[in-house]
Amino acid sequence: MNITIGRRLTICFICSCFRHMRNIGAVLLGGSMSAFAGDLRQSGDQAAAGPLAFFNKDIVAYKLLAGRLLLQANLDGGQMTAAEREWIFYAGLVILVLLLALLGIRFRTSRLTQSRRRVQAIQSANAFLTYDELKTNDEFKKKLIAIIANDFSSPLKQISAITARLGQQASDPAVTTAFIKEISVIARGALCVFDNILKWIKLQLSGFVYVKYPCRPYEILQGVLGIVAPRMEEKGIVFVNQVPQQLVVEADAEMLKMIQQHLLQLAIHFTDPGRLMVVSAWEELSLAHIRLITEPSEDVEEVLKSLGNWQQNMYALSYAMTEDFVHKMNGKLALSSVDQRYLVFHVTFPV
C-alpha cells in the first residue's frame, strides 16, 4: 500500500518538474525576452523569496494530491481491516463449533467410560456375592455334616450299648427300669439336638425374616436351666443367676433360647467341677447384653483356640452355630478371657 502511494507521488512530482522545464524551454527557444521578462516581473516576489519559489504552486498541488492519495489509502486500509475482522469472526465461529463438537465427543466418551466402569463394578460385585454365597453354602454343608456326624453318632452309640446291656440283664426289673430311664434321657438329648439343627437350618434359608417382639431373658433362662440342670448337678457347678426378672428386651424368644442353651452347654463342658458360673443381663444404649462367666478346667487360651476350629471340634461347631444365631439377630458374640483364668461369653444385640 505504502509503495503504491510513493510511486504515485513520485510520478506526480516528475510530471510537474517536466511541465516547468517545458515552459522554460519554450521561453528560451521562442526568443521572446519580453515575455520572459514579464514572467519574471509577475513572479518577482516569488523570485525574491528564493530560487525555488517558481515551483511553489506545483508543490502545493503536490501536497494536496499526496494528502488525497494518503486519505484514499487509509480508507482502503479501513475497508481491508473490516474484511479481515469479518474473516476472523467467521474463523473464530468455526473454531468454536469445532471445540463444542470436540467437547461433546469427549463428554460422550467419558459417560460411556463411566457407564462401562459401573457395569464392570456391578459384575464384580455380583461375582463376589456369588462366590460368597457359594462359600457360605459350602460352610453350611460342612457344618451340617459335622453336626450329624458328631451330635447323632454319640447318642446312637449310647442307645445301642444300653440296649445290648438290657438284653443281657433283662431278668432284673430294677436294672431294666434304670436302662429305660437312661435311654429316655439320651433320646431326649438327641431330640433336643435335632430340634436345634432344624432351627439352625431354618436360619440359613433365604426366606428367613428376623422378627423381634418383647420377651423376658429371665424367663427364657429358667426354661433353659431345666434342660442343662442335670449336667450342672453332675459336675457340682455353682450357678448364679444375675438376670433381672423385670428386664424386657425386643428379640426373637426362640433364637434367644437357643443362644442361652448353647452357651450354657459350652460353659458346662469347659467349667472345672465345683466351680462358679455367673450369668448376667442388662440393657444399655439401645443394646441388650448377656454375659456368661465361668472358670474352665483347661487353659483359657487353649479353650479360645479350640473354639475357633469348628471343622474338627463339635464344641467349636456349637459355638459357630450360636454365632450364626446372634448374627441373624443383628448382634455380636464375643469370646474373651479375664486374668488368664476366666472364660467370658458376651452377647450384644439391638433392641
Return the CA Rg of the chain: 57
3-state secondary structure (DSSP) of residue 209: coil
Pick from 67, 57, 56, 84: nearest CA to 5: 67
Q: Report the C-alpha gap between 100 and 94 in whole angstroms.
A: 10
Protein fold of 131-202: Helix Hairpins (1.10.287)
Domain spans, the chain: 2-99, 131-202, 210-350
CATH topology match: 131-202 vs 210-350:
no
Scored b (16 or more CB within 10 A) or e, 264-296 reads bbbbbbbbeeebebbbebeeeeeebbbbbbbbb
Q: Are 142 and 311 in contact (CB under 8 A)?
A: yes
Q: 164 versus 336: which is more confidently predicted?
A: 336
Q: What share of the chain has pLDDT > 90, as a percent?
A: 19
In the predicted model, is pLDDT for residue 101 greater than 80? yes
Pick from 333, 254, 321, 238: nearest CA to 291: 333
Q: How confident is the model at residue 198 (pLDDT cuts 50, 70, 90)?
A: confident
Which pLDDT score, from 0 to 100, does residue 106 have? 87
In the predicted model, is pLDDT for residue 228 greater than 90? no
Protein fold of 210-350: Heat Shock Protein 90 (3.30.565)
Which pLDDT score, from 0 to 100, does residue 43 have? 46
Helix axes 314-328, 173-204, angle to 10 degrees: 50
Q: What phi and psi values does residue 321 have, to the nearest 5 degrees?
A: -65, -40
Q: 332 versus 61: which is more confidently predicted?
A: 332
Which pLDDT score, from 0 to 100, does residue 307 have? 87
